[in-house]
Amino acid sequence: MIQASARSRCVTVTTTEEKPAVDVDDDVDLEFVEMIKKTGGPNIQNCYQCGTCSGSCPAGAFTNYLVRGIIRKALLGLKEEVISSPDLWFCTTCYACTDRCPQDVKPTDVIKAIRNVAVAEGYMLGPHQKVAAKVVEAAHAVPLDKESWQNLRVKVGLEPVPPNASGNPWAIDEIRKITKKSGFEKLIGYEEFMKAQKEKAKKKAEEKKSQKKE
Ligand code: SF4
Ligand code: SF4
């Protein structure tokens, strides 16, 4: 409803229909907040929903991602809704919200803690799974495994491969052992992911082949 006052020249925009932002039903998990506090977001209950985090968030400027909303839903115990949402993975961990939160909630850490819960329950967005798989197979989340990148390093006077684990076969073996023994591989669904990747590559190659024939 729009109300206009000629005297003050003010326009007030209100709504006659009150819609709840969130439907809270029986799917409330009262342990969820405690879980988040234990896995890295101990200050989540300090949040008073001022919105400074969302106002500072570059990810929210380009997507529907709303960090304040995730925190609110988490505080309401809407675990399944929060951990199954792809939005959870849109945070770039830039820490702008953490720098500005007046309540020291550390929203970045809260998001990371919720992601830990999500992964433990089998939810992970594809690109993040891909990065985790890179750690397993190349000992680095962003390995320089393309010749063109190595050539670029050489061009600016660096060694082709940086002096980290990804350039040392023995270190890659060690990290592989660690990721296997610690359960990291299983947690990220590494084998299933690699199988799917291979099938995808095979399908792509077949499509390319048939296109050439045509
Ligand atoms: S800035 Fe802090 S207090 Fe404000 S909504 Fe975000 S988390 Fe809550
Ligand atoms: S750390 Fe994540 S939630 Fe916080 S401002 Fe950056 S992108 Fe947004």
Q: Are residues 116 and 131 in the same domain?
A: no
**Stated length of the chain:** 214
- Ligand 1 midpoint to CA 61 (Å): 17
Please identify, among 62, 86, 120, the residue that sits at the C-terminal boundary of a domain: 120
Instruction: Say yes or no: CB of residue 98 within 6 Å of ligand 1.
Output: no
Spell out the per-residue pLDDT of the chain, length 214, in tens.
333 333 333 334 444 555 555 556 657 888 999 999 999 999 999 999 999 999 999 999 998 899 999 999 999 999 999 999 999 999 999 999 999 999 999 999 999 999 999 999 999 988 898 899 989 988 888 887 788 988 999 999 998 888 888 778 899 999 999 999 999 999 998 998 889 888 988 998 888 888 877 7
Q: How far is the CA of 37 from the centre of ligand 2 (A)?
A: 18
Q: Note whether 70 and 136 are same-domain residues.
A: no
Measure the CA–CA gap between 154 and 1, rounded to whole angstroms: 65
CA pair distance 189, 78, nearest whole angstrom: 25
Ligand 1 centroid to 8 CA: how many Å?
34
Please report, for the domain that includes residue 108, its CATH number.
1.10.1060.10
User: Is position 144 within any domain?
Assistant: yes
Same domain, 154 and 198: yes
Ligand 2, atom 8, lies closest to the CA of 57
Residues 76, 138 within the same domain: no
Going by CA atoms, what residue is nearest to atom 5 of ligand 2?
Answer: 57
* Same domain flag for 181 and 132: yes
In this predicted structure, what is the pLDDT of residue 161? 84
Question: Looking at the structure, do residues 197 and 111 belong to the same domain, yes or no?
Answer: no
144 & 108 share domain: no
Last residue of a domain, one of 120, 137, 170: 120
Note whether 57 and 83 are same-domain residues: yes
Range of the domain at 47: 25-120
Q: Is residue 105 part of a domain?
A: yes
- The pLDDT of residue 212 is 77
Q: What total of structural domains would you count in the chain?
A: 2
Judgement on whether residues 64 and 131 belong to the same structural domain of the protein: no
Could you tell me if residue 2 is inside a domain?
A: no
Amino acid at site 6: A
Q: Do residue 31 and residue 115 come from a single domain?
A: yes
Within a domain: 155: yes
32 Cα: distance to centroid of ligand 1 (angstroms): 18
Please report, for residues 18, 57, 60, 118, 201, the alpha-carbon distance to residue 94 in angstroms, rounded to integers and kept in the order given.
35, 8, 12, 20, 33
Domain boundary pick from 67, 100, 120: 120
CA-closest candidate to residue 180, choices 135, 144, 124: 135
In a domain, 214, yes or no: no
Report whether residue 139 contacts ligand 2, using a CB cutoff of 6 Å: no
Whether residue 132 sits in one domain with residue 106: no
Identify the nearest ligand to the CA of 68 by its number.
1
Q: Is the CB of 47 under 6 A from ligand 1?
A: yes
**d(CA 47, ligand 1 centre) in Å:** 5
What is the reported pLDDT for 26?
57
Q: Where do the H-state alpha helices sit in the chain?
A: 32-38, 52-56, 58-62, 67-75, 79-83, 96-100, 107-120, 126-138, 147-155, 169-181, 184-187, 190-213
Same domain for 106 and 78, yes or no, is yes
**Closest C-alpha residue for ligand 2 atom 4:** 97
Ligand index nearest the alpha carbon of residue 98: 2
Separation of CA 208 and ligand 1 centre (Å) = 50
The pLDDT value given to residue 184: 92
